Chains A and B, each alone.
Chain A
Amino acid sequence: MPEIITGTHGPEEGAGAGTPWPDDVPPNQDDTWYPLRDDPWRAARLEYFIAALWGVTGICGIGLMVVYWTGGQAQLEGWLLLAAFGCLGVGLLLWARQLLPGHEVTAIRHQHISEPEVRAAVVDSLSRGAEPMLSRRGFLVKKVLVPVGGIFGIAALWPLASMGPRPGNALYHTKWYPGARLVTEDGRALTVDDVMVDGLMTVWPEGYIDNPQSAAVLVNIGGQPLQARPGQAGFEVISGANGLVAFSKVCTHAGCAVSLFNVLSMQLICPCHQSTFNILQDCKPVFGPASRPLPQLPLGVAPGGYLIARSDFIEPIGPGFWNRSGD
């Protein structure tokens, strides 16, 4: 169409003379033309400008060397890299747009598909092999190769099982044991008086600090009544004005640490997906995606007033899984 045929710059004149045209481009389309072709003075001026831009890139390179020599500085490196690549890019773009040919042309868009005869020929060639291969109802292929390949494939993948231990009952138990003292992150054993009313602390079984599955929160609910779940009555420790309860800190939704505590509503909130557990209702989930309460740790008091666990959690902690016995 008209706007793509630049008639004033036909192939019979200029650098395109005598150049054979690609088969797919109809004649009379000149793509050797570029905007500054007939304006040598402006072309030269632009070349100097581009040279100056690329010169800036070179100067930035020297600047980077100096920065690295003196030990490096992220912001300076950022500015220098930005300027270096930016100037290189602007120069290239000006060069391409003003000084290099790239005029729009129209060409035939060839069918990239094959002729029907060629396709038929391929089927012929293929059946040269396929016919005998699948003879006798594909005895060798279907009845031998496929099952053998399956068996061999399983055998080949089997060693991958070495990557990890069998789960066994790992998800059903934590490191809490009968008589385990509750210790803080720095190993201090806690007594019934160590957490003030409405206070909260992260605790571990003694000897297993930082064990991811055993993290628990110890909360002093004071004299507020606790609605214990069936089978979990008496898991708390009442001592004077203190009412101490401990729950698994691993969220029953997706396993994050339930580490936000709203003391006004006595709620524990998981920062990952906002599952909210009401401590006074035995950490029943009251909002968010978690569907099970945080398991409660049965607490007791050892001589000396030390808080201990009377046993492990009585149910699996953390997120659900296929074989977690339902409740």
Chain B
Amino acid sequence: MSTVAERSAARKRAQQQQKALDWVDDRFGSSSWLRSAMDKIFPDHWSFMVGEIAMYTFVILIATGIYLALFYKASDAIVIYHGVYKPLDGQAMTEAYASTINLSFSVRAGLVMRQAHHWAALIFLAAITFHMCRVFFTGAFRRPREVNWIIGVTLLTLAMLEGFSGYSLPDDLLSGSGLRVVFSIVQSIPFVGVWLAFTIWGGNFPGTEFFGRLFVIHEFLFPLLLAGLLGGHLAILWRQTHTDFPGPGKTERNIVGSRLWPQYTVKSTALLMFIAAVIFGLGGLVQINPIWIYGPYQAARASAGTQPDWYVGWLDGALRLWPHWEFRSFGHELANPFFPGLLLPGIVFTVIYAWPWIDKRIYSDYGHHNLLDRPRDKPLRTAIGVAALIFFTDLTLASATDVIGTGLHISFELLIEILQYGSFIGPIIGFFVAYEVCVLLQQQVAHPIQRPVGGIIMRDARGGFHTVGGAHEGNGHEAHDVEHEEAVLEPVGAGASGRPSADEDDPPAINPDGGATLPGDDGHPSET
């Protein structure tokens, strides 16, 4: 096929590569690690891409954020605006707001960068949320991956705080109202609230040194924590290898997928490019957060239709739905914003953090898992997840009661009442519907009429015949006995496929206490 010239060119290229790698290995002894890294196998499923989207969005956030930080002035000082945007000419505003207007209108690519940064933040949170749902519904958080769940939830929390702090930096009318609400929430903390709020803001709202502090938090502290934890998240993923859905030929002890180098790497780079295309396309073409329309923040002003970014919506909605309760006794007061603003998210995040251990209790399953659950096979967990999503959706809708009410031509009072009841009834209905759908889906797969009974007969490279597929396809629950552990290496004959298991039983745990190794596992990962 190839000519002599081509072959000699290939040889020469190999020699050059060898030389370059020798130089590196002479210094770092890294060849063994490098080989295992390039040979690292990642399973392929579209849903595994969403975490990657979050990671690459973070890269774009950092790149655009650095550019914005070159022009933003984190200052509470009041200036009179005389810039290119004439409608604001002569108005008093903070330097923070004025510099955001200037970087939008007078800096090359400033508006595109600012809008891309904002869009990227929305996508970042959406990708994290979706990724977390995927991990939840498929049980990917189970042993040994509980720590990565904890890190992931922390990343979500930090990303929310990072997003909100960035949204607040321009000091426009919309974000200023948001900060006023946050001040009230901090102030409502028992014992230390007022002191804490005065400490953070440097005095009573709106404070005197707030934006300098918020900027340090937004562009240094939180990004540093996010980057560090993201690194840890990926390192743990690397060490533990990625989970995979059950399927023909997949077991707890093997991994099916493509290698990191070269196709996966290039495909992943392509994904980064697509994300960049979407984010910068949105940044240039779809307006977001037009702060020059809102105007600078003034404490005595607020406009109808004040909504925060979508990921804070559920908290804002909670503040709207929470009844007018305050508790006063012995000269002390538990103020209203404390309950929806701190207690609710506190409880929600405690439950989310604890979920891997709650799940262990529910299913009495303390074992190692590399194969994922299909959501239908764990109806209870799926139903709880669906109920939670409906709850959050209800609260998020509540953050836009005035806008939705106007659109639907019903009063906001009625809408708030509907959503108040909805926050209880919706999750309950969702729970039972999701549970029933799971059970029905399980039955459907097991149904003898709807699936071929015998499966597909295939011939392998060595001339052996086996069946694949059939009634159990994709169920994977049959693949945990030792016979099947070996099936990966040594194809087994026809008829060895297990029965469909429609029951709730979890696959038996392997090595729950980390003891002996199984057949075929004669060594330890070479990436150590």
What is A's interface to B at a CB cutoff of 8 Å? 1-7, 10, 22-26, 28, 31, 34, 40, 68, 71-72, 74-86, 88-90, 92-93, 95-97, 100-116, 119, 160-161, 163-167, 170-171, 185, 202, 204, 210-213, 215, 249-250, 253-257, 259-260, 270-276, 285, 287-292, 318-327
Contacts and interface: CB of A to CB of B under 8 A. Distances in A.
Interface stretch (B65-73, B121-129, B302-310, B427-435): B302-310
Given A85-B276, A273-B320, 7 more contacts: A1-B460, A1-B468, A89-B276, A101-B262, A102-B267, A108-B520, A165-B203
17 contacts: A1-B248, A24-B525, A80-B284, A81-B112, A83-B277, A86-B277, A102-B263, A113-B144, A114-B514, A163-B209, A165-B202, A213-B204, A254-B184, A254-B341, A320-B335, A322-B191, A326-B328
B301 A257 contact: yes
A301 to B, nearest CB: 24
Interface in B325-353: 325-326, 328-329, 331-337, 340-341
Contacts of A71: 108
B302 A271 contact: yes
Interface in B249-302: 249, 252-259, 262-264, 266-267, 269-274, 276-278, 280-285, 298-302
Contacts of B278: 82
Contacts of B320: 273-274, 288-289
B266 A100 contact: yes
A78 B284 contact: yes
B425 to A, nearest CB: 20
A36 B304 CA distance: 59
B337 A253 contact: yes
Contacts of B180: 254-256
A6 B258 CA distance: 14
- Give the dominant DSSP class at A's interface: loop
B199 A96 contact: no
B264 A102 contact: yes
- Give the dominant DSSP class at B's interface: mixed
Given A23-B526, A105-B259, A3 B468 contact: yes
A323 B193 CA distance: 10
Contact of B280 (A81, A100, A285): A81
B452 interface: no
Contacts of A78: 112, 280-285
B190 interface: yes
A158 to B, nearest CB: 12
Given A5-B461, A212-B206, A256 B177 contact: yes
- Taking residues whose C-beta sits less than 8 angstroms from the other chain, chain B's interface range is 35 or more
Contacts of A204: 300
A300 B456 CA distance: 93
B181 A292 contact: no
A79 B300 contact: no
A318 to B, nearest CB: 7
Contact of A167 (B39, B195, B240, B521): B195
Contacts of A40: 1
B523 A23 contact: yes
Contacts of B203: 164-165, 170
Nearest to A104: B258
Contacts of B329: 326
A81 B195 contact: no
Interface in B12-65: 35-36, 39, 41, 44
Given A77-B112, A165-B203, A92 B270 contact: yes
A109 B255 contact: yes
B259 A160 contact: no
Contacts of A171: 187, 194, 204
B188 A321 contact: yes
A77 B104 CA distance: 13
A78 B280 CA distance: 6
B147 interface: no
A113 B276 contact: no
A26 B489 contact: yes
B67 to A, nearest CB: 13
Given A109-B241, A109-B255, A320-B333, A100 B263 contact: yes
